[in-house]
Amino acid sequence: MGDHTQVLLAGGMALTAALLLTPAVRSFARRVGMVARPRADRYHRKPTALLGGLALFGGFALAIGVTCAIRGSATAGAGEVSAAAATGLMPIPKLLLALGCAAAMFGLGLLDDLFTFRPIAKLLGQLVIAGLFVSGGVRLVYSFVPAVDMGITMLWLVGITNALNLLDNLDGLAAGVTAIAAAFLTYFFLSAGLPVEAGITAALAGACLGFLVFNWSPASIFMGDSGSLFLGFLLGAVTLFNQSHRTRNLLATLAVPVLVLLVPILDTALVTFARRAHGRAVSQGGTDHISHRLVALGLTDRATVLVIYLVALASGAVALVVRDLAMPVAIALVVLFVAALVTGIAVVVRVQVYGSRNAAGPDGPGPVAPGRTGEHLAAPSREGDAEGVAQETTGGHKGSAGWFIHLLARPWLMLFLYDLVAVVFCYYLAFLLRFGNNPLPFLETFVTSLPLVVGTQLALLVAMGIYRTHCPRASAADAVRLGLSVALAVAGAVAVTTLIFRFEGLSRAVFAIDAVLLLMALGVGRLAGRATWMLSQEQYKRHHVRTILVGAGAAGDAAARELEESLRWGLRPVGFVDDDPAKRGLRVKGLPVLGTLAELEAVARQARAKTVLICISSPPQGLAEALERRCGQAGLALKRFRLEIEEVGKGT
């Protein structure tokens, strides 16, 4: 039986076994009362069976055992029995150690599912198992100092184990991402001539896919810690056996394991960062993962999971390509990909997931958007900036929003840090594009000139005042200013390097390419900032009261602008009514004129509005009283918008 056939057999058997075992485990869990009840810090909305890890582990172990027996019989029949062949898919003692430690991690997770350990006790157990595995001689070789490499390897194993545990926060997410990562690892092992390791990862992928049938939204069973700890540890361990990239370049050695498992790593990093920044314990549960933030922005559960699957596929594809690239090109590709992901995360990081029922805005109680599990989102104040963000309560640390909130209060600083990274990378990429065929001789020139170029460009960008423009107020004039600022920054860098280095070893083409790349990078950063603001606005508008504006004149125009740009009122304008029939069908500030004043009740009913807002500077006498009577009969709230100018003087 060929290697590829055995790998396919292992994956197929694990898939079949998981499909058969999962319903049985689900029935058993329900019968013995092992179900997850809805909680404020969890995302599910109905009692759901636990112990899915039993089906995952059982399907995997069954596939490995049967495949070993088949391979052992085949080799024995051919007269090739040896100590290695007797173990079938697992001829290497270190692989046996990896499987044994993964089984121990499954046992630790199962005990936690049954008895609920304290986080520190679970962490100690993970460290003991990881230490046992590392003592067998398998480790990452990053520093070439054995003791340091052992510590890095233990950190990697425990980190990936907990990353998968934290990623198990939405139906189908952890199982699907694990299946994708295992599929890429299977390809890596097969291409490197390692069928034994490929059989293990294929069985892991098959078990996850079989379980995913029942774990897909809406899930009827959860894997629990027994499943997530087992999957996380085994994934982290098998990546240490992929030696195929070590002969190509150091970057591939460092980057391939990280890229394959980038989704759980980024999610864990964001959750850790956000919880610490908001004064919360990292071990404290919550609906603050990337997946939850995407759902809060309007995606469905399934759409969110599919988006994250696509990111996992893209990450694996980058890992696939990086193995065979020269180091300078590989660095550029990895940085570009990670920068794109970080930019995307920056868009969702301001989604407010730490809130309180009683959260108040700067002008009193603000509108509250209830979360799906009891956590609540407090609306930010005017323009969605950090003044409102700072109103978030933080679960046990009320009133102490943390240093991250103060960072959000200074968007110019976040933008400056982004630009710093962009300036460095664009200059490097310009060198790479110009000297792509043979970049190494020019790296010394790049390193020597880098501090001068970066300092000059950032100083000129600051001098041009591009950090004084708030993203929501961006306009065509700001785009022109950005273009002029980039042109001046690059020209200034050329002038300074000419003055200092007499332009020796440098290239005009490098700076021309740098100008184009820098304009694109800075533009993307500002678009991401704009998207962040718009999405944070939309997050709360969905929970605001739908409102009909009366009067499509100048006051109505001002009211529509105010309600669109400020969230503190809790009102969402959906259209106008006006006493001029000729305005029907027109749009004011993007909102349609839905009908005449006489049709108010019918228009409000059709638009599902609950509030009417009078937006007439000098309403006719008796209009307010008539509208109050009509709204009272129709069950509509009535409010009035006022635009006034008051003189300020003594006594006021």
pLDDT over 70 percentage in the chain: 76
Q: Of 79-83, 103-107, 515-519, which one has max mean pLDDT?
A: 103-107
The Cβ of residue 635 has, within 10 Å, a number of other Cβ atoms equal to 10
**CA proximity to 392, closest of 416, 371, 414:** 371
Q: Which residues pair with 438 in a beta bridge?
A: none
Distances (CA, A) of 511 to 464, 495, 515: 19, 11, 6
Does position 434 have pLDDT exceeding 50, yes or no? Answer: yes
Provide the CA 148 distance to its chain's centre, in angstroms: 30
pLDDT at 199: 92
pLDDT tens per residue, range 542-552: 667 889 999 98
Does position 401 have pLDDT exceeding 50, yes or no? Answer: no
64 vs 277 pLDDT, higher one:
64
pLDDT at 108: 96
Distances (CA, A) of 388 to 189, 324, 367, 540, 544: 51, 48, 11, 12, 16
Contacts of 10 (CB under 8 A, 6+ apart): 63, 64, 67, 89, 199, 200, 202, 203, 206
pLDDT at 457: 94
Residue type, 623: L
pLDDT at 380: 33
Does position 348 have pLDDT exceeding 80, yes or no? Answer: no
Does position 459 have pLDDT exceeding 90, yes or no? Answer: yes
What's the mean pLDDT when you consider all of the chain? 79
Contacts of 192 (CB under 8 A, 6+ apart): 242, 243, 244
Q: How confident is the model at residue 336 (pLDDT cuts 50, 70, 90)?
A: confident
Does position 173 have pLDDT exceeding 80, yes or no? Answer: yes
The helix, strand and coil proportions of the chain, stated in percent and rounded to the nearest 5, come to: 65, 5, 30
- Residue identified by tokens 């990452």 is 140
Q: Residues 316, 329: contact at Cβ < 8 Å?
A: no
For the segment 400-421, the average pLDDT, to the nearest whole number, is 66
For the segment 199-216, the average pLDDT, to the nearest whole number, is 95
Residue type, 202: A
Q: Of 156-165, 376-385, 556-565, which one has max mean pLDDT?
A: 156-165
Average the pLDDT over each of 283-287, 373-377, 487-491, 492-496 and give the range with the smallest value. Answer: 373-377
For the segment 343-357, the average pLDDT, to the nearest whole number, is 66
Name the packing angle between helices 195-215 and 3-32 (round to 10°): 40
pLDDT over 90 percentage in the chain: 35
Q: Residues 408, 471: contact at Cβ < 8 Å?
A: no
For the segment 283-307, the average pLDDT, to the nearest whole number, is 83
pLDDT at 466: 81
Q: What are the helix (H) ranges across 216-284?
A: 224-238, 250-260, 262-277
Run of H or E including 412: helix 411-434
**CA proximity to 588, closest of 572, 574, 568:** 574
79 vs 448 pLDDT, higher one:
448
For the segment 267-276, the average pLDDT, to the nearest whole number, is 81
Local structure of residue 47 (DSSP, 8 states): -
Q: Which residues pair with 572 in a beta bridge?
A: 546
For the segment 572-600, the average pLDDT, to the nearest whole number, is 89
Does position 431 have pLDDT exceeding 70, yes or no? Answer: yes
Q: How confident is the model at residue 142 (pLDDT cuts 50, 70, 90)?
A: low
| Cα 643 to Cα 555: distance, rounded to the nearest angstrom | 7
Average the pLDDT over each of 386-395, 439-448, 539-548 and give the range with the smallest value. Answer: 386-395
For the segment 249-276, the average pLDDT, to the nearest whole number, is 77
377-401: b or e for each residue (b if 16 or more CB lie within 10 Å)? bbbbbbbbbbbbbbbbbbbeeeeeb
| Cα 484 to Cα 470: distance, rounded to the nearest angstrom | 18
Q: Residues 22, 175: contact at Cβ < 8 Å?
A: no
Q: Residues 565, 382: contact at Cβ < 8 Å?
A: yes
pLDDT at 631: 93
Does position 566 have pLDDT exceeding 50, yes or no? Answer: yes
- CA angle 28-30-35, nearest 5°? 120
397 vs 518 pLDDT, higher one:
518
Provide the CA 545 distance to its chain's centre, in angstroms: 29
For the segment 120-130, the average pLDDT, to the nearest whole number, is 94
pLDDT at 385: 36
For the segment 565-577, the average pLDDT, to the nearest whole number, is 83
Run of H or E including 548: strand 545-550
pLDDT at 185: 92
Q: How confident is the model at residue 287 (pLDDT cuts 50, 70, 90)?
A: confident
Contacts of 306 (CB under 8 A, 6+ apart): none
Does position 56 have pLDDT exceeding 90, yes or no? Answer: yes
Does position 650 have pLDDT exceeding 50, yes or no? Answer: yes
pLDDT at 80: 43
Distances (CA, A) of 252 to 198, 215, 320: 19, 34, 10
Q: Which residues pair with 378 in a beta bridge?
A: 368
Does position 487 have pLDDT exceeding 90, yes or no? Answer: yes
Local structure of residue 221 (DSSP, 8 states): B
233 vs 645 pLDDT, higher one:
233
**CA proximity to 290, closest of 166, 393, 397, 394:** 166
Q: How confident is the model at residue 2 (pLDDT cuts 50, 70, 90)?
A: low
364 vs 333 pLDDT, higher one:
333
- Residue identified by tokens 């950032």 is 458
Q: Residues 418, 524: contact at Cβ < 8 Å?
A: no
Does position 462 have pLDDT exceeding 80, yes or no? Answer: yes
pLDDT at 525: 76
For the segment 301-312, the average pLDDT, to the nearest whole number, is 92
Q: How confident is the model at residue 121 (pLDDT cuts 50, 70, 90)?
A: very high
pLDDT at 637: 93
Q: How confident is the model at residue 231 (pLDDT cuts 50, 70, 90)?
A: very high
For the segment 330-354, the average pLDDT, to the nearest whole number, is 75
Average the pLDDT over each of 239-248, 272-281, 398-407, 484-493 and give the range with the smallest value. Answer: 398-407
Cβ-in-10-Å burial (0-12, 13-18, 19+) of 604 comes to buried
Cis status, amide bond into 119, omega within 30 of 0: no
